[in-house]
Amino acid sequence: MKTAAGFYFDGVTSARHSVTVEAAPEGLHIRGTDGASIATWAYADLRAMSAPDDLLRLGRADDPSLARVEIRDPAVIALIDDYADGFDRSGRTERRNRARIVAWSLAAAASLVLIGIVGVPVLADRIAALIPLSVEHRLGTAIDGQVRTMLDNKKSDKPFECDDGAGKPGRAALDTLIGRLERAANLPIPLRAAVIRRSEANAVALPGGRIYVFEGLIDRARSPDELAGVLAHEIGHVAHRDGTRSLLHAAGLSFLFGMLLGDFTGGGLVVIAAQTVVKSAYSREVEASADLYSVRLMTAAGGDPRALGAILSRIATSNGSRYLSDHPDTQDRVAAIDAAAAATPVAATPGPLLAPPEWTAFKRICG
């Protein structure tokens, strides 16, 4: 509570009365020089009237008498500002409101960041498993064209996809290898594999079961089981629906809504999806899970479960190899693969998944 000298006008005469103005929590008390109460105004009824910058002129809203009081004391003016919400002489209310807006804006931004970092990945992990396979298949078909455009470097006058024709030895060997893995995997969706003219030792899996094998991977593979081990790893991504989950992480809720509506073409979502698939930068945990899947699948298919570790160790030190550029540490991966293979029961001694003539034909599929 503060007091200050002021002047009071009763609104009836032009006489100016010297008064003491007391800003108390319950209201504004106006007293004469003798201490007698002239009026008590509730803060809710106050209205600021036009006045010079160093003067606060107050009246009461809806008061026909035009009674008013004038105050110049800055401390009392500031206290009245604090008590009264109807006006803001000092600018404190405006500053408080501005601070509240900034605080709420920062809180909203922090919430969005938190949702993006924590909420969307958790939501994506849970929803990916619930998306119908038919929708995932349409998703893979929608982004397939963009993926091919990104992977085709146009450096060769030969066709982008290596395929010596149905029934030809190279294609037949690929179909045999994929068929053995597919039967052992027993997936609810069919697999479709293609070999493309890319020099990197790499392979990528699209949502919906399409797998692209790079020519460079075939060149570096020393046995059909090494190549099959990489294919089994990519099949693990298909089985775990890692591609769809990764797309949901990258594109967020807008892509999720597009999937639910069956629309994968708007707002550049196809480009985002294709870039995510081509980079295939999965987390360490996701890659480790796909490695273990490869071990189990190769064992079930009758191949060598350690073959994946063998080719990973070799291509990790090859110049220009991209297959491991975004993957966990190779030594750790190989150690985990070997340990899992040793702990996995084997029904019979593993044998090559392709006969020597088939493997020779497969190595020549790109001519």
Q: What is the pLDDT of residues 219-231, one digit of tens each?
A: 999 999 999 999 9
- pLDDT, one tens digit per residue, over 80-102 is 888 887 665 555 555 666 777 77
The long-range contacts involving 210-216, CB below 8 angstroms and separated by at least 24 positions, are 210/140, 210/144, 211/178, 211/235, 211/238, 212/147, 212/151, 213/174, 215/162, 215/366, 216/321
CA distance 13 to 5: 20
Let me know how long the chain is: 367
Residue 256 confidence (pLDDT) above 50: yes
* Count helices and strands in the chain by DSSP H and E runs: 14, 11
Strand-pair category, 210-214 with 192-196: parallel
Q: Mean pLDDT, the chain, as a whole number?
A: 81
Region 137-157: mean pLDDT is 81
- pLDDT, one tens digit per residue, over 176-217 is 999 999 999 999 889 999 999 998 899 999 888 999 999 999
Percent of the chain with pLDDT over 90: 37
Q: Can you give the pLDDT at residue 138?
A: 81
- In the block, residue with structure tokens 């800003």: 23
- pLDDT, one tens digit per residue, over 154-175 is 777 788 888 756 568 899 999 9
- Residue 6: beta bridge partners? 19, 71
Could you tell me which residue, 128 or 332, shows the higher pLDDT? 332
| R_g of the chain computed on alpha carbons | 38
Residue 239 confidence (pLDDT) above 70: yes
Region 100-123: mean pLDDT is 60
- pLDDT, one tens digit per residue, over 7-33 is 999 888 888 999 999 999 899 999 998
pLDDT confidence bin for 362, thresholds 50/70/90: very high
Fold of 2-90: PH-domain like (2.30.29)
Q: Can you give the pLDDT at residue 164?
A: 56
- CATH 2.30.29.30 range(s) for the chain read 2-90
pLDDT confidence bin for 320, thresholds 50/70/90: very low
Residue 117 confidence (pLDDT) above 50: no
pLDDT confidence bin for 261, thresholds 50/70/90: low
Percent of the chain with pLDDT over 70: 75
**What is the dihedral sign for C-alpha 39, 40, 45, 47?**
positive
Q: Can you give the pLDDT at residue 350?
A: 67
Residue 105 confidence (pLDDT) above 70: yes
- pLDDT, one tens digit per residue, over 281-305 is 688 888 999 999 999 999 999 999 9
